């Protein structure tokens, strides 16, 4: 394992319509549960585990996921990613995701909770075929602090890179630094405490889909602010500002439900653990 606190590698393939693990390897403070099949679609669901309970000073985690042709997978976590005080060195997590032709990946980790003096960096690199589908999300929430401050963490930095045919087509970089940014102000979190991001890349994304997405988003403006942007490739990204994890999850669930019903005539998996 070398310098990694936890390592997890998972290769999945399609065997006669059912997605199964071809190779699974984990070591240190990362593990994966046995797959769950929620319906008869053949799509597998894996829960990722961190038995250590949270990310500490200098922790480093590496994950690699490969989906062979027509493999279909849902990845989620057992619970929230908790980043505690990191006085000396930031906690770091990287993931490399390879999606072959016709593959389908949902990646829905539970919220990231950054506690007082937490310093966290995350990097996801996705290399996907143009016929593959990617649906992923992140939710950032502030953790507890003794004085009840809203943003007591040092830095939260999330980087997503998507490549098609070895060409960088999406570069999404989010960095929250309360010491140098007025996070409550205009252009940042604007009075909210929670930030959610959802990204969908699929060749079926068109203007008609976007119109229906706007109809969903307009119904969820009471306790949140939502923005929708097209990507340079067929796909879109959504940002949600709110004061509640549940509000963000509800919006993302409605979007995933619409996509599942229209594109695959199916229901999304129920993943929550509470």
pLDDT single digits (tens) 34-77:
999 988 899 999 999 998 889 999 999 999 999 999 999 999 99
User: What are the angstrom distances between the C-alpha of 63 and each of 29, 66, 75, 98?
Assistant: 12, 10, 12, 11
Task: Tell me the CB-side half-sphere exposure of residue 22, using CA atoms within 13 A.
Answer: 12
% of the chain with per-residue pLDDT over 70: 97
CA distance 47 to 54: 16
CA distance 257 to 137: 14
CA distance 243 to 238: 17
**75 bridge partner residues:** 46, 107
Q: Is the pLDDT of residue 99 over 70?
A: yes
CA distance 164 to 158: 20
Of residues 62, 33, 55, the one with CA closest to residue 273: 33
Q: Is the pLDDT of residue 180 over 90?
A: no
Q: Which residues contact 53 (CB under 8 A, 6 or more apart)?
A: 82
Which parts of 2-152 are beta strand (E)? 6-15, 18-28, 31-32, 44-49, 60-67, 72-77, 81-83, 91-99, 104-108, 112-114, 119-128, 133-142
Q: Is the pLDDT of residue 94 over 80?
A: yes
At 274 the pLDDT is 52
Strands 18-28 and 6-15: antiparallel
pLDDT band at 146 (very low <50, low <70, confident <90, very high): confident
User: What are the angstrom distances between the C-alpha of 160 and each of 47, 64, 157, 175?
Assistant: 21, 14, 10, 12
Q: Is the pLDDT of residue 230 over 70?
A: yes
* Global confidence as pTM: 0.93
Q: What is the mean pLDDT of residues 185-200?
A: 89
DSSP H helices in 148-197: none
Cβ atoms of 22 and 68 within 8 Å: the answer is: yes
pLDDT, tens only, 110-137: 999 999 999 999 999 999 999 999 999 9
**DSSP state letters, 203-241:** TT--HHHHHHHHHHHHTT-SSEEEEEEE-SSSEEEEEEE
Number of alpha helices (DSSP H) and beta strands (DSSP E) in the chain: 2, 17
Segment (H or E) for 197: strand 194-201
**194 bridge partner residues:** 242
Q: Is the pLDDT of residue 1 over 50?
A: no
User: What are the angstrom distances between the C-alpha of 10 and each of 5, 23, 152, 245?
Assistant: 17, 6, 35, 28
């Amino acid at each position: 394992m070398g310098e990694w606190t936890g390592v997890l590698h998972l290769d999945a393939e399609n065997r006669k319509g059912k997605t199964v693990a071809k190779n699974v390897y984990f070591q240190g403070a990362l593990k994966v549960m046995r797959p769950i099949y929620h319906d008869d679609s053949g799509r597998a669901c894996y829960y990722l585990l961190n038995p250590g309970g949270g990310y500490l000073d200098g922790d480093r985690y590496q994950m690699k996921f490969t989906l062979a042709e027509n493999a279909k997978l849902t990845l989620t976590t057992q619970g929230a990613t908790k980043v505690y005080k990191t006085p000396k060195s930031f906690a770091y997590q990287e993931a490399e995701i390879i999606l072959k032709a016709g593959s389908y990946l949902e990646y829905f980790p539970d919220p990231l909770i950054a506690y007082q003096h937490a310093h966290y960096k995350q990097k996801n690199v996705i290399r996907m075929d143009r016929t593959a589908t990617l649906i992923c999300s992140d939710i950032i929430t502030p953790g507890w602090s003794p004085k009840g401050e809203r943003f007591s963490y040092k830095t939260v930095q999330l980087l997503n890179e998507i490549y098609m045919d070895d060409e960088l087509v999406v570069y999404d970089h989010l960095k929250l630094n309360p010491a140098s940014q007025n996070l409550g102000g205009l252009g940042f979190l604007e009075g909210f405490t929670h930030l959610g991001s959802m990204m969908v890349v699929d060749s079926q994304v068109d203007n008609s889909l976007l119109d229906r997405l706007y109809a969903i988003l307009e119904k969820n403006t009471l306790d949140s602010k939502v923005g929708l942007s097209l990507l340079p490739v067929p796909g879109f990204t959504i940002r949600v500002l709110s004061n509640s994890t549940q509000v963000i999850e509800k919006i993302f669930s409605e979007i995933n439900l619409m996509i599942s019903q229209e594109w695959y005539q199916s229901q999304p998996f129920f993943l929550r653990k509470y």
